[in-house]
């Protein structure tokens, strides 16, 4: 097998393998929220969850930086839920139940949302294959050995013919 072709196939296999892996974080254990000595949940713990959600009222504004009063109340709701011992997944599930999937920064990989995870790697792979095909076509073909001349045959042109005749006369 051609070494270039073998390399291309290995790269394509690596891209397919990498794109098939789920894009999730490590699920070994969920971090426990940071609680101060007074029993208050820290802002960092609240914002760690709020940064993974969007404001249900404002469009495309992360919940952790949204300045509205409603978002402040939702962050306090997250703080209360953490104090009750709820996990990050339970908090997100409750927000999704109330406001729908649009509150999540990353859509869940179910139903039609799978396209978000599948289409980009497929498009990248198809583009790479198209680029490889184009580059192969652009490869310069070797010049066939002619009658000892280094230049390839030029199309018959009246101007070139007259120029060559004039050069022969003067030589």
Backbone angle region of 100, left / alpha / beta, with phi > 0 → left and psi within -120 to 50 → alpha: left
- The class level of CATH for 30-105 reads mainly alpha
Q: Is the pTM of this model over 0.75?
A: no
pLDDT tens by residue, the chain, 171 residues: 677 777 777 777 777 766 666 554 444 444 444 555 456 678 888 888 888 888 878 778 888 888 888 888 888 999 999 988 889 889 999 988 888 888 888 877 777 777 877 889 999 999 999 999 888 888 766 656 555 555 556 567 788 888 889 999 887
Nearest Cα to 47, choosing from 76, 69, 23? 76
Maximum alpha-carbon separation in the chain: 106
CB neighbours of 46 closer than 8 A, spacing ≥ 6? 64, 75, 78, 79, 82
Using DSSP's 3-state secondary structure scheme, residue 80 falls into helix
């Amino acid at each position: 097998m051609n070494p270039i072709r073998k390399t291309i196939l290995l790269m394509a296999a690596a891209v397919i393998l990498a794109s098939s892996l789920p894009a999730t974080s490590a699920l070994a254990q969920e971090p426990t929220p940071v609680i101060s000595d007074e029993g208050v949940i820290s802002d960092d713990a609240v914002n760690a969850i709020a940064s993974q959600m969007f404001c249900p009222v404002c469009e495309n504004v992360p919940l952790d930086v949204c300045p509205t009063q409603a978002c402040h109340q939702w962050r306090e709701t997250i703080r209360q839920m953490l104090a009750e011992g709820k996990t990050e997944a339970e908090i997100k599930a409750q927000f999704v139940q109330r406001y729908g999937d649009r509150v999540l920064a990353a859509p869940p990989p179910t139903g039609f949302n799978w396209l978000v995870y599948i289409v980009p790697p497929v498009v990248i792979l198809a583009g790479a294959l198209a680029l490889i095909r184009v580059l192969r076509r652009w490869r310069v073909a070797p010049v066939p050995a002619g009658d000892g001349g280094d230049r390839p045959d030029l199309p018959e042109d009246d101007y070139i013919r007259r120029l060559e005749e004039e050069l022969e006369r003067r030589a």
